[in-house]
Amino acid sequence: MPKRYISFQGLHGAYSDLVCRKFYKDYLTLPCNSFEEAISAVENKKADVALIPVENNIAGRVADMHFLLEKINLKIVAEHYHKIEHHLMTKENINLSKIQRVFSHIHALNQCKKNIRKLNINPVNFIDTAGAAKYISEIKTTNSAAIASKLASEIYNLKIVKNNMQDSKNNITRFLVFSKKSKKIGLDKKVITSIVFNTKNLPASLYKALGGFASNSINLTRLESFFVNKDFKQFSFLVDVESHPESSNFKKALKVLNLYSTKVKMIGYFEASNFRN
């Protein structure tokens, strides 16, 4: 049986790598330098699917993902929610009381701010969490640590000196999975459909464009706006709705959306994660 690959942004040991291994045990993980590279890996057949984080309940939406979603040629085929657990790690022979600096991604540092302050450690921004763990494993200094995943500590042979450094115990990140083709899903399943659209430059166009979902009893679970050009004159909207795209109600709502939009692009549909329950 040929090997299957799932691409992600970051080094081995990144949280995306951890989530790939959790939900796609039969796949080999393929680290990439950027979200664009992870997506391109699927487009260029280096990977079968790509897993990308899109939002966190504390840090908010992931930067640049909206621009990627508008231009992407792949389809969203799944969603996964994962509880993020940050751990403080050092080399084996370093004591917690000796740590003066901690390296990690800006979001991880912000999510551990109170605990970092309690330990009187100086936070230092790093490009990503797994990269910080790798860096700590390679440097000679004995007063530095990293905040990263348990997987990163195992890969880079680091000792966890404090578990669960995050200030909030309810730290959840949502990930989307992208593929070249959509999966067939039965109409009896609970399905989320994602759409990107631009409204016409008319009064109440957004209200009217979304009215079709309301009149057809379709629930919106997500609505976000973002600029698509540098002069702030054009908005795009990203919407997630609880409906199968083949349902009659969805088709009626889509007609209304098209009526008040200059562009409508369905970027995927997928079975709703059990986390939503």
**Where in the sequence numbering do the catalytic residues fall?**
173, 175
Task: For the chain, count helices (H), then strands (E).
Answer: 9, 15
3-state secondary structure of 117: helix
CA end-to-end span of the chain: 36
Whether 103 and 145 have beta carbons less than 8 Å apart is answered as yes
Residue 7, both tokens: 């691409």
Indicate the pairing of strand 101-104 with strand 4-9.
unpaired
Within 8 A by CB and 6+ apart from 272, the residues are 79, 189, 190, 191, 192, 242
Best CA proximity match to 268, nearest among 244, 235, 236, 237: 244
What residue has token string 């494993």?
137
What phi, psi does 37 have (nearest 5°)?
-70, -35
Helix, strand, coil percent content, the chain, rounded in steps of 5:
30, 35, 35
The CB density around residue 49, as the number of other CB atoms within 10 Å, is 22
CA dihedral 239→241→246→248, nearest 10 degrees, is: -110
Within 8 A by CB and 6+ apart from 186, the residues are none
What residue has token string 């921004």?
125
